Amino acid sequence: MKASFFFATPARSLPMRMLWVIAACSVATLLAWPWRELFDPANTAMLYVLAVAIVAARAGKGAAIATALLGSALLDFFFIYPHFTFTIGDAQHIVTLAVMLAVALIIGNLTLSLQREKEAALERERQSRALYQLASQLAGALTLEQVDELTRRFLQKTQACNGMLLMRQGENVLPVAGAQAPLSGKLYYAAQSALRQGAVQATVDEPMQWLFLPLHGSTYIRGVLALSATDTYLLDTERQPLFEAIAALLAASTERLHFVEVAQHAQLQMTDERLRSSILSALSHDIRTPLTVLYGMADTLAQSELPKALHEMADAMRQQTLRLNSMVSNLLDMAKLRAGDIKLNLEWQPVEEVIGASIKLLAPALAQHPVSVKLSPDIPLLRFDAVLMERVLCNLLENAAKYATPGSPIRIAVRTDKKFAHLSVSNDGSQFPPDRLENLFELFERGDSESNIPGVGLGLAICRSIVSAHGGSIHADNDDGACVIFTLPLGEPPVIEPEGESE
Residue 365 or 440: the one with the smaller Cβ distance to another protein is 365
Q: Of 14 and 316, which has the nearer Cβ to another protein?
A: 316
Asked whether 65 and 22 are in contact (CB, 8 A), the reply is no
Min separation Cβ 305 and another protein, Å: 13
Closest listed residue to residue 332, CA positions, set 391, 292, 390: 391
Q: How far is the CB of 313 from another protein (least distance, A)?
A: 17
Distance CA 141, CA 158 (A): 19
Q: What is the C-alpha separation between 148 and 139, in angstroms, rounded?
A: 13
Q: From residue 205, how far is each of 137, 176, 183, 322 by CA, in Å?
A: 31, 21, 12, 75
Shortest reach from residue 471's CB to another protein, in Å = 19
Burial class (CB in 10 A: 0-12, 13-18, 19+), 297: middle
CB 473 → another protein: shortest distance, Å?
23
Residue 490 CB-density burial (10 A; 0-12 exposed, 13-18 middle, 19+ buried): middle
Residue placing its CB nearer to another protein in the complex, 172 or 292: 292
Please compute Rg for the chain using Cα positions.
47
Q: Which is nearer to another protein, 98 or 279 (CB)?
A: 279
DSSP readout, 360-373? HHTTTTTTTS-EEE
Q: How far is the CB of 295 from another protein (least distance, A)?
A: 4
Element at 165 (helix H, strand E) = strand 162-169
Q: How far is the CB of 157 from another protein (least distance, A)?
A: 60
* Region label for 370, one of left (φ > 0), alpha (ψ between -120 and 50) or beta (otherwise): beta
| Paired residues of 496 in beta bridges | none
CB of 166 to another protein, least distance (A): 47
Residue 56 or 298: which CB sits closer to another protein? 298
Please check whether residue 44 is in contact with residue 32, taking contact to mean a CB–CB distance below 8 angstroms: yes
What is the binding site for another protein (CB under 8 A)? Answer: 281, 284-285, 288-297, 299-300, 303, 318, 321-322, 325, 329, 345, 347-350, 352-357, 359-361, 371, 373, 375, 381, 386-387, 390, 493-494, 496, 499-503
Nearer to another protein, 360 or 418 (CB): 360
Task: Pick between residue 193 and residue 325 the one whose CB is nearest to another protein.
Answer: 325
